[in-house]
């Protein structure tokens, strides 16, 4: 029998704080050393109205989330400027993922409400998931297991360089 190890999942399973407050509000705040906290929280980019972070429990390598700072479960309350930046940041994230990881396509989406599949239903966010031909083999169907070919931190380091280059080129 073969074993597939995913030791990073235990962090999520045992996290006592996962239901007590808003994860996105908590990690978006600049407490302490921003660089250290951003690296620990897998934040790749901070804009005026939104930020980009890697999903700690991804569907695929490079799975990003674009999150507005404003806490709302849907579009309500978001300014036009915030909504524009949100979509522009999704566009930039797709471009960066294309350059960094050469995916064959993308799933981009958001879920409003638990019934729609929202895992974090109190704070809206858009998922940007790179996809490759053949990345959905039989493992998820037969073994209910997704194989991640690259460690999360290694992907973070790779993508962080691209996000920094993008930000620096816009100045």
Q: Could you tell me the two tokens for 5? A: 């190890």
The verdict on whether 71 is a catalytic residue reads: no
- Pair type for strands 105-109 and 126-131: antiparallel
- Of 49, 63, 123, 125, the active-site residue reads 125
End-to-end CA distance of the chain: 54
Quote the CA–CA distance of 142 and 42 in Å, as a whole number. 31
Report CA 3 to chain centroid distance, whole Å.
27
Tokens 């704080």 belong to: 17
Residues marked active site are found at 125
């Amino acid at each position: 029998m073969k074993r597939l190890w995913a030791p990073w999942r235990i962090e999520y399973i045992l996290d006592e704080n996962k239901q007590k407050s808003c994860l996105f509000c908590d990690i978006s705040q600049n407490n302490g050393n921003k660089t250290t906290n951003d690296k620990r929280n897998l934040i790749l980019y901070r804009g005026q109205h939104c930020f980009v972070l890697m999903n700690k429990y991804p569907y695929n390598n490079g799975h990003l989330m674009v999150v507005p700072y404003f806490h709302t479960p849907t579009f309500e309350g978001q300014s036009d400027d915030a909504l524009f930046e949100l979509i522009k940041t999704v566009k930039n994230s797709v471009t960066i993922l294309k350059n960094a990881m050469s995916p064959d396509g993308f799933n981009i989406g958001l879920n409003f409400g638990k019934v729609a599949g929202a895992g974090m239903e109190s704070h809206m966010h858009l998922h940007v998931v790179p996809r490759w031909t053949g990345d959905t083999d039989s493992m998820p169907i037969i073994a209910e297991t997704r194989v991640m070919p690259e460690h999360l931190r290694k992907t973070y380091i790779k993508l962080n360089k691209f996000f920094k280059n993008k930000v620096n080129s816009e100045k």
